Amino acid sequence: MALGYVRPARPEDAGEIARIQLATWRVAYRRILPRHVLDNLDEAWLARRWSAAVQEPPSGSHRVLVAVEQAEQSYLVGFAASGPADAEALAPGEPAEALGPDVVAVTDLLVEPRWGRRGHGSRLLAASVDHWREDGFGRAVAWAFDGDAATRKFLTGTGWEPDGAGRALDVDDMLVPQVRLHVAVPPPPDGADG
């Protein structure tokens, strides 16, 4: 297992978060999303969006966490973003109140492929769960591409299950199916404050 840790994202991390997102999408989603869409993603635009997410989150429960690999140097290798479930977490036709105020939505959980299988995803998820408990969330949801076996395997391996909801994203006139997974936010470990 790698030496590493998770910390809240800082404004100066936005460029690296955007780079990690692009690198990961271009590898992990190359058979799921149209190539020209992946090729035309603008790293500077993504960095501006991540900068805003870190510096001006919509609420105190919106968080961006980063995973850091420690070696002779430290490297940002992954990130997770989550916040209270909103309209983006809903399935088509699902009423606004379907998820409730105690549900948190994971919008991103990515580890750059070259740093995979070193515990970073697990550390990001564990740190996120700690924050969800603090914020009073009882359940978490996340959308995953139907064809993204790695993300689905990772989440189901940690107790997440499909909740029966599905949708298709329109990506440049191509419908890309997604499934929603969910999990109860586990109670704190025995002896832990919470």
Q: What local confidence, expressed as pLDDT, does residue 3 receive?
A: 82
pLDDT value at 38 more than 80: yes
Q: What local confidence, expressed as pLDDT, does residue 1 receive?
A: 46
Q: What local confidence, expressed as pLDDT, does residue 102 receive?
A: 96
Query: Which alpha helices (DSSP H) does 29-119 contain, by range?
Result: 35-39, 43-55
Q: What local confidence, expressed as pLDDT, does residue 2 receive?
A: 53
Q: What local confidence, expressed as pLDDT, does residue 193 receive?
A: 54
* β-sheet bridge partners, residue 182: 141, 161
Long-range contacts of 86-92 (CB under 8 A, 24+ apart): 89/141, 89/143, 89/180, 91/165, 91/166, 91/167, 91/180, 92/167
pTM comes to 0.91
Containing 139, the helix (H) or strand (E) segment is strand 139-145
Among residues of the chain, what percentage have pLDDT more than 90?
Answer: 74
pLDDT digits (tens, 9 = 90+) for 166-193: 999 888 888 999 999 999 998 887 655 5
pLDDT digits (tens, 9 = 90+) for 127-158: 999 999 999 999 999 999 999 999 999 999 99
